[in-house]
């Protein structure tokens, strides 16, 4: 409730920042380091430990994480990477930043995710020598079929980078057990975002998780201009004085960026990470309540498809609504919900149809992505929501869909 007694506006996603998070940030501000200090490494180690990765490299956004991963793979002009069309722009843009081209893959119309079959179709459309990578997206916090996707990728000799920006805290069944997203059981790297609507936040921020020391080291160097401080890796000979490494010297073997994350942000990240399990449990409980209360609206409205084994991070609660058979415009439904204090969003319009990408490649027909896009609507879901908020959303949605 607001102070005026009106129910608070429910955003489709929202951060949960408490006094202890604020105190952690204030303590960092009183410390010696504002940019890269000891909290960056502590945050990286804590996230790596949580997701079962040997290394995590913190950076300024999920987009930067994807770009660092693409650069760590060595993507560049002449190369092609496969990206599912149903994603945020960043997955494809990170590939383009390197000069490589994007081959958009279709998705399952029910889950919105890349499948082994849609990956195969996309890879078959690319000249074999050019295909270098695939970036499956764990949409809404559900996990793509990693083992099967990795098997197709291996057949075509392409690397796998997970866009796990929605999936910090998610897990999936593979081989003998359940593994966390980020453990890279079937990928070279997994990229997370800590943007405010994500599982935990650092304001803006992201991480590359990997089991590979080589990828981690490269991503870490490229995060800060490509600077190399380790004398053992210097090649020019200019960094030595009387045979000793000069204390001021660094070498730049390749060009990088300023994608650093601050100690201030990592203080917030560490404080938030301690709450991740609580946040995930609350998201799952709210999703279960939605499932139950929305069941009577089937078949016009169907809840998200739940993966077998493992657990979703429940980044979004994205329902599938048959707007066409209901003869309703999605925008009108969204406007009506907004008038009732309820925010919704569409994740996502297919990226292959964006003018920039249409200009780069002749028309593509990706019916799975179009079908998913036509029906999807993300309802409010974040840990601070009360059970009654879910009840309010369901009642308002049923009314807006004229199903009650
Ligand atoms: C699937 C996906 N990938 C990448 C990103 C980029 O993350 P960031 O906003 O932290 O740059 C986002 C952010 O919304 C996303 O949803």
CB 216 within 8 A of CB 210: yes
For residue 25, what pLDDT band results from cuts at 50, 70 and 90? very high
Q: pLDDT tens across 295-326, in order?
A: 999 999 999 998 777 799 999 999 999 999 99
Q: pLDDT tens across 195-215, in order?
A: 999 999 999 999 999 999 999
Q: 62-73 vs 89-97: helix axis angle to the nearest 10?
A: 40
Closest CA to 297 of 200, 393, 382, 208: 393
For residue 348, what pLDDT band results from cuts at 50, 70 and 90? very high
Closest CA to 378 of 326, 336, 334: 334
What's the confidence (pLDDT) of residue 308?
77
Q: pLDDT tens across 146-196, in order?
A: 999 999 999 999 999 999 999 999 999 998 799 999 999 999 999 999 999
Which residues is 57 bridged to in the sheet?
Answer: 208
Mutate to test the pocket of ligand 1, among 64, 92, 94, 193 (most ligand atoms within 8 A of CB): 193
Residue 72 reports pLDDT greater than 90: yes
For residue 363, what pLDDT band results from cuts at 50, 70 and 90? confident
What's the confidence (pLDDT) of residue 4?
54
Span from the CA of 138 to the centroid of ligand 1 (angstroms): 11
CB 50 within 8 A of CB 76: no
| 275 is annotated as an active-site residue | no
Residue 266 reports pLDDT greater than 90: yes
Residue 386 reports pLDDT greater than 60: yes
In total, the chain counts a number of residues equal to 404
Residue 166 Cβ contacting ligand 1 at under 6 Å: yes
State the pTM of this model: 0.97
Calpha distance 205→184 (Å, rounded) = 20
Tell me the pLDDT of the chain averaged across its residues.
Answer: 96
232, two tokens: 């053992």
What's the order of all strands across the beta sheet hosting 376-379? 301-302, 317-321, 376-379
Residue 60 Cβ contacting ligand 1 at under 6 Å: no
Q: What is the 3-state composition of the chain as percent helix, strand, coil, each rounded to the nearest 5?
A: 40, 15, 45
What's the confidence (pLDDT) of residue 189?
98
3-state secondary structure of 381: coil
What's the confidence (pLDDT) of residue 83?
98
Instruction: Identify the burial level of 319 via C-beta atoms within 10 angstroms of its C-beta, where 0-12 means exposed, 13-18 middle and 19 or more buried.
Output: buried
What's the confidence (pLDDT) of residue 309?
77
The answer to whether the Cα torsion of 78, 83, 86, 89 is positive or negative is negative
Residue 63 Cβ contacting ligand 1 at under 6 Å: yes
What's the confidence (pLDDT) of residue 37?
93
Average pLDDT score over residue span 63-74: 98
What's the confidence (pLDDT) of residue 2?
56
Span from the CA of 299 to the centroid of ligand 1 (angstroms): 31
Mutate to test the pocket of ligand 1, among 112, 189, 195, 315 (most ligand atoms within 8 A of CB): 195
**DSSP letter (8 states) at residue 366:** -
The residues, any chain, with a CB within 8 Å of residue 296's CB and separated by 6 or more, are none
Residue with tokens 């506006």: 9
Helices (H), 261-360: 263-273, 276-294, 323-326, 330-339, 355-360
What's the confidence (pLDDT) of residue 7?
66
Closest CA to 333 of 366, 306, 305, 297: 297
Span from the CA of 168 to the centroid of ligand 1 (angstroms): 12
């Amino acid at each position: 409730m607001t102070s005026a007694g009106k129910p608070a506006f429910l955003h489709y996603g929202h951060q949960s920042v408490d006094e202890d998070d604020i105190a952690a940030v204030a303590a960092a501000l009183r410390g010696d380091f504002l940019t890269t200090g000891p909290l960056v490494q502590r945050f990286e180690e804590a996230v790596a430990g949580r997701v079962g990765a040997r290394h995590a490299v913190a950076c300024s956004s999920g987009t930067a994480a994807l770009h660092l991963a693409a650069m760590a793979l060595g993507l560049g002009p002449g190369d092609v990477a496969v990206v599912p069309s149903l994603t945020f722009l960043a997955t494809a843009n990170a590939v383009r930043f390197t000069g490589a081209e994007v081959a958009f893959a279709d998705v399952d119309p029910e889950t919105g995710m890349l499948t082994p079959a849609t990956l195969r179709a996309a890879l078959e459309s690319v000249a074999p020598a050019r295909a270098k990578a695939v970036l499956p997206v764990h949409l809404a916090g559900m996990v793509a079929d990693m083992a099967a996707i990795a098997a197709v990728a291996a057949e075509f000799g392409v690397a796998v980078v997970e866009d796990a920006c929605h999936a910090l805290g998610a897990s999936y069944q593979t081989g003998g057990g359940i593994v966390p997203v980020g453990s890279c059981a079937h990928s070279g790297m997994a990229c997370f975002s800590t943007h405010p609507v994500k599982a935990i936040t650092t304001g803006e921020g992201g991480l590359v998780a990997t089991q590979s020391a080589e990828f981690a080291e490269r991503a870490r160097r490229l995060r800060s201009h490509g600077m190399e401080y380790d004398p053992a890796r210097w090649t020019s000979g200019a960094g030595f004085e009387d045979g000793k490494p000069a204390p001021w010297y660094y070498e730049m073997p390749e060009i990088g960026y300023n994608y650093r994350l601050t100690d201030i942000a990592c203080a917030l990240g560490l404080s938030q990470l301690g709450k991740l399990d609580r946040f995930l449990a609350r998201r799952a409980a709210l999703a279960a309540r939605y499932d139950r209360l929305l069941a009577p609206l089937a078949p016009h409205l169907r809840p998200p498809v739940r993966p077998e084994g493992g657990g979703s991070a429940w980044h979004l609660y994205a329902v599938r609504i048959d707007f066409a058979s209901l003869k309703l415009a999605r925008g009108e439904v969204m406007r009506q919900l907004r008038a009732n204090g309820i925010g919704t969003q569409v994740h996502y319009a297919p990226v292959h149809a964006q003018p920039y990408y249409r200009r780069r490649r002749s028309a593509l027909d990706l019916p799975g992505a179009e079908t998913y896009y036509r029906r999807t609507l993300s309802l409010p879901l974040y840990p601070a929501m009360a059970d009654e908020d879910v009840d309010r959303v369901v009642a308002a949605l049923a009314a807006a869909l004229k199903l009650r």
